């Protein structure tokens, strides 16, 4: 293969691996692998096996169209699963376990593990019970037994994903849903153990849940792919330019408008709590340093207080009724202006009488001896 083709092949492999890792997906469909890489680059059988091995080294398993693991990975997976199923301590280190979770872990720890032969026998009972003339109750009981015997497998896998944005209990719940899918889809005739097969479904359920739920603000899958592409181009430009690229440069590479690039960069940022401690002694919070655009400046606040004092002094020169009428008409106390009719109802007089009182009070305020007190605030 020519050097240029090799570079393109390596880039295609890197792109597919990055895409799966950003989405927290741990499996790659064999059909996708062949359509995106094997066929376009005309890989032979040995090269395809090397390709599969390369993906597995990155922690990505290859599955067939039924979702079953390809045999290249099965032996290694069986060793790993046997180790997991043999673990005694199901609680993840550094995670506080409350009483309900502890009781659940104790309960599932009492369930005996199944041998490969017992798994096959249960699978046969399920298969027989699902037939039209089969025993549906026996099939349901077999499903329950197969699932219960593998609940500790779910916990052991779930604890490997602690700290990725979901609680331990939620991870277990998502893993249990993956386990139930495995129970319903398991085909004992393929020759591998149920626990090995279930591992794929449990991982898939957990990783998809993390991708979908872990962020405070959910990002659609298509946008995650766009963010992934932008990040890759950004890294390449840093290598080429020796500095962080400008949005205009990223947009030119991606064939996107600069504003769209800015929008994607903004979306890709992780939210930060306003309660995040700041400083060596953690005595301040991030929110303390963020300006409130709607807040009144100290100068405006001081000016407003002085105006209130001057206004109060000026209004004190009026009669109580005149002062109260102006306060209600212009909303001096609560910012809500009243109509003549509304004020008239308060004082039990007609709207015309209120208009007369208001006019008289305003004439008094226009007198130079009073108006000069407010002149500085009205300029």
Is 292 within 8 Å of 334 (Cβ atoms)? Answer: no
What's the token pair of residue 225? 């792919």
How far apart CA 180 and CA 182 sit, in angstroms, is 5
How far apart CA 111 and CA 291 sit, in angstroms, is 57
Among residues 316, 331, 309, the alpha carbon closest in space to that of 361 is found at 316
Please check the confidence at residue 323 and state whether its pLDDT lies above 90.
Answer: no
pLDDT band at 144 (very low <50, low <70, confident <90, very high): very high
pLDDT band at 246 (very low <50, low <70, confident <90, very high): very high
pLDDT in tens, 11-24: 888 888 877 776 66
What's the CATH class of domain 3-213? Answer: mainly alpha
User: What residues does 61 pair with on adjacent strands?
Assistant: 27
State the span(s) of the chain assigned CATH 1.20.120.1810.
3-213
DSSP type of residue 34: I
Among residues 158, 193, 164, the alpha carbon closest in space to that of 176 is found at 158
How far apart CA 225 and CA 24 sit, in angstroms, is 12
State the span(s) of the chain assigned CATH 1.10.10.10.
221-289, 298-378
Angle 295-301-305 from CA coordinates, rounded to 5°: 145
pLDDT of residue 99: 65
- Name the percent of the chain lying above pLDDT 90: 14
Q: What is the DSSP string of 279-295?
A: STT--EEGGGGS--TTS
Q: Does 3.40.190.10 match the CATH number of domain 298-378?
A: no
DSSP type of residue 188: G
Please check the confidence at residue 116 and state whether its pLDDT lies above 60.
Answer: yes
pLDDT of residue 93: 57
How far apart CA 165 and CA 214 sit, in angstroms, is 4
Thinking of the domain 221-289, which architecture would CATH place it in? Orthogonal Bundle (1.10)
pLDDT in tens, 195-231: 888 888 898 888 778 777 767 777 776 777 788 788 8
Among residues 256, 152, 160, 250, the alpha carbon closest in space to that of 203 is found at 160
What is the Cα gyration radius of the chain? 36
pLDDT of residue 89: 53
Please check the confidence at residue 284 and state whether its pLDDT lies above 90.
Answer: no
Specify the residue for token string 């709590």. 273
pTM greater than 0.75 (yes/no): no
Cβ-Cβ contacts under 8 Å for 331 (sequence gap 6 or more) = 337, 338
**Average pLDDT of the segment spanning 158-173:** 84
Please check the confidence at residue 324 and state whether its pLDDT lies above 60.
Answer: yes
Residue 201: alpha-carbon gap to chain centroid? 22
Q: Which of 30-44, 94-108, 271-285 has the lowest mean pLDDT?
A: 94-108
pLDDT band at 258 (very low <50, low <70, confident <90, very high): very high
How far apart CA 277 and CA 274 sit, in angstroms, is 9
Please check the confidence at residue 84 and state whether its pLDDT lies above 50.
Answer: no
Higher pLDDT among residues 44 and 193, named by residue: 193
pLDDT band at 66 (very low <50, low <70, confident <90, very high): low
User: How confident is the prediction for the chain on average, in pLDDT?
Assistant: 79
How far apart CA 186 and CA 196 sit, in angstroms, is 10
**Average pLDDT of the segment spanning 181-185:** 91
pLDDT in tens, 32-51: 787 788 777 877 777 877 88
Dihedral pair phi/psi, residue 273, rounded to 5°:
-70, 140
Q: Which helix (H) or strand (E) holds 378?
A: helix 368-378
């Amino acid at each position: 293969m020519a050097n240029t083709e090799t570079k393109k092949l390596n880039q295609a492999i890197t792109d597919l691996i990055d895409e799966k890792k950003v989405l927290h997906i741990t499996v790659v469909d064999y059909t996708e692998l062949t359509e995106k890489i094997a066929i376009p680059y005309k890989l032979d059988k040995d090269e395809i096996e090397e390709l599969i091995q390369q993906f597995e080294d990155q922690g990505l398993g290859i599955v067939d169209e039924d979702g079953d693991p390809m045999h290249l990975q099965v032996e290694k997976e069986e060793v790993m699963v046997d180790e997991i199923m043999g673990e005694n301590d199901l609680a993840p280190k550094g995670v506080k376990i409350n009483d309900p979770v502890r009781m659940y872990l104790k309960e599932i720890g009492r369930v005996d593990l199944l041998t490969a032969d017992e798994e096959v026998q249960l699978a046969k009972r399920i298969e027989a019970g699902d037939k039209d003339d089969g025993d549906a109750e026996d099939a349901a009981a077999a499903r329950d037994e197969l699932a219960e015997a593998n609940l500790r497998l779910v916990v052991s896998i779930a604890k490997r994903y602690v700290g990725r944005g979901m609680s331990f209990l939620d991870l277990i719940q998502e893993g249990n849903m993956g386990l139930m899918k495995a129970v319903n889809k398991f085909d004992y005739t393929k020759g591998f153990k149920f626990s090995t097969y279930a591992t794929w479904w449990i991982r898939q359920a957990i990783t998809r849940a993390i991708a979908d739920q872990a962020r405070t603000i959910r990002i659609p899958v298509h946008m995650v792919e766009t963010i992934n592409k932008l990040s890759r181009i950004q890294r390449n430009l840093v290598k080429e330019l020796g500095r962080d690229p400008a949005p205009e440069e990223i947009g030119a590479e991606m064939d996107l408008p600069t504003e769209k690039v800015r929008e994607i960069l903004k979306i890709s940022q992780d939210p930060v709590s306003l309660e995040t401690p700041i400083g060596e002694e953690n005595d301040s919070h991030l929110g303390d340093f963020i300006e409130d655009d709607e807040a009144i400046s100290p100068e405006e606040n001081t000016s407003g207080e002085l105006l209130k004092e001057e206004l109060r002094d000026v209004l004190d020169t009026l009669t109580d009724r005149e002062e109260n009428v102006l306060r209600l008409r212009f909303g001096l106390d609560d910012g809500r202006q009243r109509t003549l009719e509304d004020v008239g109802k308060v004082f039990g007089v007609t709207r015309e009488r209120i208009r007369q009182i208001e006019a008289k009070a305003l004439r008094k305020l226009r007198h130079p001896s009073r108006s000069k007190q407010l002149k500085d605030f009205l300029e």
